[in-house]
Structure 1
Amino acid sequence: MAYIDVRIPTSYRRLLYLALAVSWVTGIAFFILSRFITVEGDFGPEKHPLQFPTLMVHGAAAFIVMMGYGAVMMNHVSATWRLQRLRGFGITLLVVLLFQVISAYLLYYLSSDEIRGVFANLHALVGLSFPLILTIHIVTGRRQRAQMQAQLEARKAARKQQQAAAA
C-alpha cells in the first residue's frame, strides 16, 4: 500500500484544537456554574453572573468548531475513508460531533424543561468525553502513519539491495 499523507495542515489543526479547547473548558465552566453555583441576589438565590458570558464564548467557539468540522469532512475524512484508515474512531468522532451540534440546537429551542434537562446532561457528558476520543484517534493515526512510513522505507531499501545484487 502506498503512503498517502492525510494530515490536516498545522495552522488549521492548531486553530481547530484551540476552538475545541475553548469550547470544552467553557462547556465545563458553564455546567458547573449552572448546576452548582448560585449567588445571593436581592430576591434570593440567582444564577452566577458569569454563566451567560461563559455560554456565549462556548457558543462562539462551537461555531468555529462546526466550520472546522466541515473542512475536516471535505478533506481529511474523504481521503482517509478511501484509504480505509481508522474508520471506527473517525466515525465515532463524527457521530459525537454531530450529536453535539444537534443537542446544542435542541437545548436552544426545546421548551420542555424535563427533556431539556436530559439533553443538557447528555450534551455535557458527551462533550466531556470528546477530548479522550480525539486523543485516541490522533495517537492511533500517528502510530499507523509511522508504521506505514517504516514499511515504505523498508521496501525502498529492499529494492535498492535487489538492484545492487542484480548489477
Structure 2
Amino acid sequence: MPNRRTARLASWQIWLLSLSGTGLWLTGAAWLLLHYYGQTEGDFGPEMNPLEPWMMKLHGFFLIPALLGIGGMFVAHIPKGWHHTAQRFAGIVFSVVLTVLVVTGYLLYYAGGETLREWSSLTHWIIGLTLPAAFLWHYINGQLVRRRRKAPAVHT
C-alpha cells in the first residue's frame, strides 16, 4: 500500500512500471536492431526479419500495463510529488519524455503523411532509448532529496 503522506508509489506500482518499462525498452531496442541490422536476403533483395512484427506485437502488449501504471501516477504520485520542489524539474522532464513517447507512438500508427511518420519514428526511438536515463535521473534525484530531508541538521 502506498504511503498516504508521501509521493512514493506502492510496491505493486513499482513492479508494474518496472516490468512493463523494461519490456517496452527491450522490445523497442530489439525491433530497432532487427529493422536496421537484421534484414534477411530474399530472392528479390533484402527482406524484413520475420521477428520484426513480433517485436511490435510484444511492444504493444507491454504498453498496456505501462499506460495503466502511468495513469495511476496521476492519482497520487504526481499531485503529492508536486509539493517536492527539489524533485519537480526531474519529474516534469520525465513526464514530458513519457508524453512525447505516447504521442509519437500514436502518430506512428495513425499519422497520414510519410514525412510526419518519419519524424515521429526518429523522435520515438531516440527518446525511447534515452528513457532509462531520464528514469534514473528522476529516481536517484528523489533518493538524494529523501536522504537530505532525513539527515539531522548539523549545528556549529
Greater displacement, 63-72 / 34-43: 34-43
In structure 2, what residue type is equivalent to 1:109? Y
Shift of residue 110 of structure 1?
A: 1.8
SS in 2 for 1:8: coil
Q: How far did residue 114 of structure 1 move? A: 2.7
> Percent identical across equivalent pairs?
30
**Are 2:40 and 1:39 aligned?**
yes
Q: TM-score, normalised by structure 2?
A: 0.88
- Asked if 1:136 is matched to 2:137, the reply is yes
The alpha carbon displacement at 1:106 in A equals 0.4
* 2:9 matched residue in structure 1: 8
Displacement of 1:38: 1.0
Cα RMSD after superposing both structures: 1.8
Shift of 1:85: 4.0
Structure 2 unpaired stretches of 5+: none
Q: Which has the higher helix share?
A: 1
Query: Which 10-residue stretch deviates more, 105-114 or 129-138?
Result: 105-114
CA distance in 1, matches of 2:63, 2:86: 27
Cα displacement (A) at 1:111 = 3.1
Matched, 1:58 2:59: yes
Distance 2:109 2:95 in 1: 21
* Pairing 1:145–2:146 present: yes
Rounded Cα–Cα distance in structure 1 between residues aligned with 2:84 and 2:50: 49
TM-score by length of 1: 0.83
Structure 1: unaligned runs, 5 residues or longer: 159-167
